[in-house]
């Protein structure tokens, strides 16, 4: 958890308070404009891919570690990739919003594991599979109401071409 908070704070500072972060974001939004002021779009995009790959690897490590602690290897990562995409879309590609979305979905994931410790939840006699579905149901409900306003970076997935200035 401490490492996650440190990475969140570092990501916020790097993206919003440094020249590197502002250049990186400009290459995702308006690569032609960034290139016109002398920024190497290819280098910035490579840096973005390397950073996101490293963070994705750390995230995968956390997901797998959580799965190993339950000794349940047959289900793989149990749809965590779906939750990760939902967190990214709900967070609108902004670190603080992503952290809040991850906390929301993580809380429901934790609830599915520890609901038996709460007497009022046990008294409801809701089957365990319903609690296991909660994070996914909540993510679908949240995305249904918020994805209309979600905006990805404008140049996401579009190859950069110098000739399209």
* pLDDT at residue 70 is higher than 70: no
Domain with 117 in it: 79-151
* pLDDT at residue 60 is higher than 80: no
* pLDDT at residue 63 is higher than 80: no
Cα dihedral sign for 139, 67, 7, 32? negative
The domain tally of the chain equals 2
pLDDT at residue 67 in the model: 56
Domain match, 3 and 61 both: yes
* pLDDT at residue 9 is higher than 60: yes
Domain match, 87 and 47 both: no
First to last CA, the chain: 44
Mean pLDDT of the chain: 81
> Please, is 105 exposed, middle or buried when counting C-beta atoms within 10 Å of its C-beta (0-12, 13-18, 19+)?
buried
């Amino acid at each position: 958890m401490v490492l996650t908070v440190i990475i969140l704070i570092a990501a916020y500072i790097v993206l919003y308070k440094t020249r590197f972060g502002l250049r990186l974001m400009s290459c995702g939004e308006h690569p032609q404009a960034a290139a016109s002021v002398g920024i190497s779009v290819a280098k910035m995009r490579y840096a973005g891919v390397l950073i996101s790959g490293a963070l994705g690897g750390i995230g995968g490590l956390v997901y797998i570690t959580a799965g190993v602690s339950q000794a349940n290897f047959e289900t793989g990562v149990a749809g965590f990739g779906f939750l990760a995409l939902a967190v990214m879309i709900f967070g609108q590609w902004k670190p603080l919003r992503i952290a809040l979305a991850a906390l929301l979905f993580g809380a429901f994931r934790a609830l599915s594991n520890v609901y038996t410790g709460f007497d009022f939840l046990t008294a409801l006699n809701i089957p365990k599979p319903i609690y296991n579905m909660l994070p996914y149901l909540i993510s679908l409900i949240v995305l249904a109401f918020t994805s209309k306003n979600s905006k990805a970076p404008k140049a996401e997935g579009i190859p950069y071409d110098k000739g399209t200035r």
